[in-house]
Structure 1
Amino acid sequence: MKMYKNIKQIFIVIFVLICFACKNEKQEKQTLTLAKPSKKQIEFADWEVGAFFHFGLNVFTGQEHGDGKEPPSKFNPTELDAEQWVLTAKSMGAKYGCLTVRHEGGFCLWPSKTTEYTIANSPYKDGKGDIAREFVEACRKHGLKVGFYHTSSHDAYHALSWYKGEIGWGKSRDSLVEIAFRDEKLKSKYLEVQMEQMRELLTNYGQIDFMWSDHWGAPGSEHIWNPITDLVAEFQPNMVFMGPETWVPGNESGLVVYPMWNAVNTVDGTNYTRPAPNSNDSAVENDYGLLENEVRTGHPLGEFWRVRECTTHWAFHKGGWFWHPEVTLPRTLNEHIDLYYRTVGLGANTIINLPPDDRGLVPDTIVVAAKRFGDEIKKRFANPIAELSEIKKSDIVELTWKESQEINTVVLMENIANGQRVAKYTLEAFLDGKWEELKPVNYFPTAKKPYNKIPGYETIGHKKIDRVESIKTDRIRFKCLKSIEGTPEIRKIQVFKCEPYN
């Protein structure tokens, strides 16, 4: 009888252990659930290159951030042509354009009913103009996705009109705003203006495809950004909204951290806040007064998906975001190619600034540089030697072609619709009856820590462009060495022979 009791106890212990093991296994599986992008985030990643048009009162005052003190009467472009902007963007290869319909100074490029600080009180078209509408119509006419820039947390005109002294940027401005918002009536009125401006933009111009919401989620401005984010979801659910759906890389120089994960955890565990740091993440030296200078590598098991998008004014031309005479000059073609490889080539989008001048036209030098850049990217990547364009779910994926040819570039894409998995891989070529590793020769001279100067074979995400030592072959293969979860899904492999540029 005693033996029977012991056996019974043993079975109970085993049963408990099995249940505990099953519970742990279930928890582990839950932990390894990958974040997945929405349909619009996948489409946005596929756009890859965008064009930023920084234009407004600042072009006529020489300011960059705008202090809300300059009068609308100074705004008077006499040759404005939104179609010229859009065609310049198209020649560059941009799939979307984004206009600063209202920058940080508060001046509106549409006749907003919320304020007197608009083009309705400027000489432009005798106060009857609407540049937001001109831009939207030009984009739709020429097949460019429509984007607006608007920053609800930074509006100097409505937050600081009470202040009579000089208004700087950064901490000095932030402290003045903090003082202003101690007045609850002013704080409430400010939010009312921002909400109504967003409502106008989201309801008066049809479908908007993208919005750059500068300084989204800035600490201390939750009372503004949370309701704005809800408003966007209500009126433009198909619009990609910078903040909850995309994020910046921590600089404005066209550098993206690598390895890089699109999945992130957030500061408070909701989609209303910015990506939370990992133990190895850091802040970088302030770049052009940038408020978002935290570098986030993302987290492979993060809960939220945010496409990385690199703003790139310094990388494409000299000078600030807005046009400045004799300063806004394009950089070299090699610098532009390098920009493409270190952003799009590392899995991010890049949005390149094309600032119109005081005529209302993109300067000729920028027009020429944009087309030259677009032509060069087409030349490099329009005609692959070989291509695999069907999704393959496997740790090893091969690509073969008829005749042995010299190659030096391999493009990989993951099927991110089912998450980002690859954490380490290798590329190999079949030579003399055996597989040999293709040696990566990626090199970005302008990158400095924490950005990777010599990225190897780690993450892929939307896209990875690998430059490799030149080799003659008719067969290569991708080989996954480490997956975060399950079997990788490769969406595309392409091989090219491209001219070196640095």
Structure 2
Amino acid sequence: MEPAGPRAPAVLAPHHGGRTMNLKRSLALASLLTISASIAAAAEPPEPRRPVPSARQLRWQGLESYAFLHFGPNTFTDKEWGYGDESPALFNPTDFNADAVVAALKDGGLRGLVLTAKHHDGFCLWPSKFTEHSVKNSPWRNGKGDVVREMADACRRAGLLFGVYLSPWDRNHQDYGAPEYITYYRSQLRELLTEYGPIFEVWFDGANGGDGYYGGARTKRKIDPVTYYGWDETIALVRELQPDACIFSDLGPDTRWVGNEKGVAGDTCWSTFDPKAYAVGKTPGSILNVGMRDGPLWLPAEVDVSIRPGWFYHAAEDAKVKSVDRLYQLYFDSVGRGCNLILNIPPDRRGRIHEADARAIKEWRSRLDAAFAVDLAQGAKATADQSRGGDPAYAPDKVVDGDPATYWSTDDAATSAALTLDLGKPTTFDVVRVREHLPLGQRIDEVAVDAWDGGEWKPIATATSIGAQRLIALPTTTDRVRLRIVKAAACPAVSEFTLFKTH
């Protein structure tokens, strides 16, 4: 609008132009009325239902699946947990190629990797300045190699994210169990977080204390995992050095353990939790697997599982790599329940991803891509029994617009509602995907899905704890499908309701 100025004198239009002037005035008035109506119809967005994810957690949840790489002396000793007395000379991959490893993972559709920079045996895959128990004293690359460097660089070249695992337990170090070890541990953490570029996840294992080499003492050392490590200070160090990195441990602070190593989240799995209700290393897996509906922190589960029976490579397991069918189901049991999947794919003694593993994850990705290639809800007419303030910004069609930033919502008082997709013709589908708008928190407790059978609505599935996404298997054929919000803690904010024919 232009600033007000001197009022111009009235000018009488010629008689023959009066109708034109009146038409212009009418159109201008109609335009103003339309604008006013639009302003009146605008509704305020729903208030977040706290807790809500941080920016780093939102980025992390968007990854869905990435790799775990267990690699080290155990690869060459055929062990799962080294004692800590293994000679660095054992570590000598014959054909290590970080780009080839990353390429195999990328072919499997994995969006990043977390490398075991140091497992419980204390051997470091980088030339740490603080120990001799590392690659610098191995024959690999004549002692000049750095697995962490090569993997981090390969990830950047391929567009994958890079993360590190640094075991708090160290069966090699003489000071483990004493305060001096914590200084050592944080010094190594600082190396990893300052010398290798951006880190998307820092992984802290829950194995703590027991028998070990401990600098030649060969004793059993017990520690209190709650107090010994000074986790608050260690977490603060990560925040200082890599503020965008998510931190995994049994109890977070960014992502929690799912409570098992089978790759299966609870059928109900809340993204909220109260870590103060339990202790590190002492939280029942059954609690971690389900989460807490009214937990005070956003603490989603990460689902860890190995593609093989073990976590490190063992030639005897080459024929025991998980099948494509099993991997496909694991996706539904983890990502399909609002979690992230970290799939362990250990390099072999060459320093490559074994052909059986590479083939399995590539076929798995092809199957997933084919299953979710065609959204059968695209083009459907979406209606609902209500939308928030009647504002088009929260209209039901937002669930099928393909934009994760938009969502259908209702008035604050409406914690139950129904949204219908008219598909226009009988359509066969077997999976429904529902997503909540995560910046507003986890609002929905329970949903139901109904199909129109020509005369009435027929219930075909129910689900709880939607969150980042929920995949619901429900083979059916119908021309109309309905999503009912049965129960919610706050008015729903649904960003996606889509249909797929996966078989």
Alignment TM-score, normalising by the size of structure 1: 0.77
Please tell me whether residue 479 in structure 1 is matched to residue 500 in structure 2.
no
Of 194, 206, 226, the residue aligned with 1:203 is 194
Question: What is the CA–CA distance in structure 2 between the aligned matches of 1:129 and 1:211, rounded to whole Å?
Answer: 22
Task: Look up the SS of the partner of 1:63 in the other structure.
Answer: coil
Question: What is the CA–CA distance in structure 2 between the aligned matches of 1:496 and 1:299, rounded to whole Å?
Answer: 30
Residues 266 and 276, structure 1, Cα contact 8 Å, conserved in 2: no
Provide the residue aligned with 2:253 in structure 1.
244
Q: In the TM superposition, what whole-angstrom CA distance separates every residue of 1:402-452 from its partner, at most 9, and x where no partner exists?
A: 443211110011112111011111112234254332x23xxxxxxxxxxxx
Please tell me whether residue 72 in structure 1 is matched to residue 88 in structure 2.
yes
Task: Look up the SS of the partner of 2:116 in the other structure.
Answer: strand
Amino acid at match of 1:79: D
Question: What is the CA–CA distance in structure 2 between the aligned matches of 1:148 and 1:426, rounded to whole Å?
Answer: 40
Question: What is the CA–CA distance in structure 2 between the aligned matches of 1:33 and 1:406, rounded to whole Å?
Answer: 35
Question: What is the CA–CA distance in structure 1 between the aligned matches of 2:128 and 2:282, rounded to whole Å?
Answer: 36
Residues 68 and 344, structure 2, Cα contact 8 Å, conserved in 1: yes
Please tell me whether residue 264 in structure 1 is matched to residue 264 in structure 2.
no
Of 489, 493, 500, the residue aligned with 1:496 is 500
Provide the residue aligned with 2:334 in structure 1.
343
Q: In the TM superposition, what whole-angstrom CA distance separates every residue of 1:69-105 from its partner, at most 9, and x where no partner exists?
A: 0010111012001112211111111111111111111
Identity %: 31
Larger Rg over CA atoms: 2
Residues 260 and 289, structure 2, Cα contact 8 Å, conserved in 1: no
Of 298, 302, 305, the residue aligned with 1:305 is 298
Please tell me whether residue 460 in structure 1 is matched to residue 482 in structure 2.
no
Amino acid at match of 1:198: L
Provide the residue aligned with 1:226 in structure 2.
232
Residues 70 and 346, structure 2, Cα contact 8 Å, conserved in 1: yes
Provide the residue aligned with 1:320 in structure 2.
310
Task: Look up the SS of the partner of 1:457 in the other structure.
Answer: strand
Tell which has more relative contact order, 1 or 2 (C-alpha 8 A, sep 6+). 1
Task: Look up the SS of the partner of 1:244 in the other structure.
Answer: coil
Residues 267 and 276, structure 1, Cα contact 8 Å, conserved in 2: no
Residues 409 and 264 (structure 1 numbering): CA distance in 2 closer, same or farther, change over 3 Å? Answer: same
Q: In the TM superposition, what whole-angstrom CA distance separates every residue of 1:294-353 from its partner, at most 9, and x where no partner exists?
A: 64422222111112111111xx32x31000112243122211111111111111111111
Provide the residue aligned with 2:437 in structure 1.
415
Residues 156 and 274 (structure 1 numbering): CA distance in 2 closer, same or farther, change over 3 Å? Answer: closer
Matches within 5 A, 1:107-146: 107-146=123-162
Question: What is the CA–CA distance in structure 2 between the aligned matches of 1:191 and 1:276, rounded to whole Å?
Answer: 21
Instruction: Tell me the CA shift for residue 216 of structure 1.
Output: 8.6
Instruction: Tell me the CA shift for residue 494 of structure 1.
Output: 1.2
Question: What is the CA–CA distance in structure 2 between the aligned matches of 1:477 and 1:249, rounded to whole Å?
Answer: 31
Question: What is the CA–CA distance in structure 2 between the aligned matches of 1:94 and 1:216, rounded to whole Å?
Answer: 26
Provide the residue aligned with 2:22 in structure 1.
none
Instruction: Tell me the CA shift for residue 274 of structure 1.
Output: 4.9
Of residues 87-96 and 207-216 in structure 1, the stretch that sits farther from structure 2 once superposed is 207-216
Of residues 401-410 and 142-151 in structure 1, the stretch that sits farther from structure 2 once superposed is 401-410
Amino acid at match of 2:491: T
Provide the residue aligned with 1:428 in structure 2.
450
Q: RMSD of the TM alignment (CA)?
A: 2.1
Provide the residue aligned with 2:218 in structure 1.
none
Provide the residue aligned with 2:325 in structure 1.
334
Residues 452 and 478, structure 2, Cα contact 8 Å, conserved in 1: no
Instruction: Tell me the CA shift for residue 233 of structure 1.
Output: 0.9
Task: Look up the SS of the partner of 1:267 in the other structure.
Answer: helix
Question: What is the CA–CA distance in structure 2 between the aligned matches of 1:380 and 1:301, rounded to whole Å?
Answer: 34
Runs of 4+ in 1 over 6 A off after TM superposition: none
Question: What is the CA–CA distance in structure 1 between the aligned matches of 2:64 and 2:199, rounded to whole Å?
Answer: 18
Matches within 5 A, 1:384-395: 384-387=375-378, 388=400, 389=402, 390-394=406-410, 395=417
Provide the residue aligned with 2:169 in structure 1.
154
